[in-house]
Amino acid sequence: MSIARGPVRVHAPATSANLGPGFDALGLALTMGDLVTAEATAGGVEIQVSGEGAADVPRDESHLIVRAMDATFDLLGERPEGLRLVCENTIPHGRGLGSSAAAISAGIVLARALVVGGEERLDARTMLQLATDLEGHPDNVAAALLGGLAIAWIDGAAAESLRLDVDVPVTVFVPGEAVSTEKARGLLPDVVPHGDAAFNAGRAALLVAALTAAPERLISATEDRLHQSFRAQAMPDSYRLVRQLRVEGIPAVISGAGPTVLAFADGIAGAVPEGWWAAELGVDPRGTRLL
Ligand SMILES: Nc1ncnc2c1ncn2[C@@H]1O[C@H](COP(=O)(O)OP(=O)(O)O)[C@@H](O)[C@H]1O
Ligand SMILES: N[C@@H](CCOP(=O)(O)O)C(=O)O
């Protein structure tokens, strides 16, 4: 085995996890994404970043894409002396649109492409495991890696996923302020009532049917009792917008750990609150891909 010099370049999509009732279990890849180019060098780590996060992300080995690449090189037993990365970011950070999942997926796919023979040795399942170990939950990374709608679960310690094709209009309403996923996860209770768990089990099953075959069920299918209300205190305006849209009959949820609001509808982006931005998106069917 050896290292290819590159450059290699990937597109990694934004994702929306949970989709209401599918906490840590459902993820949808979206038609917005980051471009990352990587090249093997003679030594050191050099990182250029433009767009989202450019003012904040580190430029050393602690950069999330470099961490994901390092973990992948470890697994493959081969690594370049040095690395040059060019990151063109459009996914906003800490908004619930899977920026960290995209960074991790991009890093894994780039590192696999730089190791000669890496593509034969690192299959989709191993990449999902690696990505889940880094992200901490499988829903966004499954969708980011494979595209489409991901149903993801943990079997023992093993991350698993099933990919489905869906075609549904999506509008995202993105607030100016970030809320980290770590903080939003810290607001969740350790234990929930049996009735609430049963409520979500039925809605999550219905949501898969609604997204694939019965869109008229989306309003019931996007109800949730496991995470959104607990997180409302950290994102009251987002929670209010979700309720307002739902009263109008529009299936709306908190995207991922928030604070972005996702609605399964188009033609509503004009209703954006002041200081927020909105975008009409579709579903990315391809996932993280080499260009
Ligand atoms: N493209 C990227 N490059 C480097 N670090 C990133 C990138 N995307 C995300 N991160 C890291 O992940 C953090 C955001 O992750 P998280 O709180 O899970 O929010 P999100 O919902 O956007 O995934 C950022 O603050 C940054 O530390
Ligand atoms: N299931 C996770 C999803 C987090 O998604 P992100 O896009 O906010 O990182 C959760 O709800 O914590």
Question: Which pLDDT value is given to residue 1?
Answer: 59
Question: Which pLDDT value is given to residue 271?
Answer: 84
3-state SS, residue 290: strand
Comma-separated ranges of CATH 3.30.230.10 domains in the chain? 8-165+284-290
d(CA 250, CA 229): 18
Comma-separated ranges of CATH 3.30.70.890 domains in the chain? 170-281
pTM of the model: 0.97
Q: What is the mean pLDDT of each run of 10 residues along the chain (291 residues)?
A: 91 98 98 98 97 98 98 97 98 98 98 96 97 98 98 96 98 96 97 98 98 97 98 97 98 98 96 94 98 97
Question: Which pLDDT value is given to residue 287?
Answer: 98
Q: Is 105 in the pocket of ligand 1 (CB under 6 A)?
A: no
Rounded to the nearest whole angstrom, what is the distance from the C-alpha of residue 125 to the centroid of ligand 1? 23
User: Ligand 1: which residue has its CA nearest to atom 5?
Assistant: 64
Residue 96 assigned as binding residue: yes
CB distance 238 to 57 below 8 Å: no
Mutate to test the pocket of ligand 1, among 52, 57, 288 (most ligand atoms within 8 A of CB): 57
Q: Is 224 in the pocket of ligand 2 (CB under 6 A)?
A: no
* Fold assignment, 170-281: Alpha-Beta Plaits (3.30.70)
What stretches of the chain show up as alpha helix (H) in DSSP? 64-76, 99-114, 118-121, 124-135, 139-146, 181-186, 194-212, 218-221, 228-231, 236-247
* Fold assignment, 8-165+284-290: Ribosomal Protein S5; domain 2 (3.30.230)
Q: Is 96 in the pocket of ligand 2 (CB under 6 A)?
A: yes
DSSP letters spanning 10-42: EEEEEEEEETTTEEEEEEEEEEEEEEEEEEEES
Closest C-alpha to 288, from 16, 19, 24, 34: 34
d(CA 96, CA 114): 30
Interface confidence (ipTM) of the complex: 0.99
Q: Is 254 in the pocket of ligand 2 (CB under 6 A)?
A: no
Residue 101 assigned as binding residue: yes
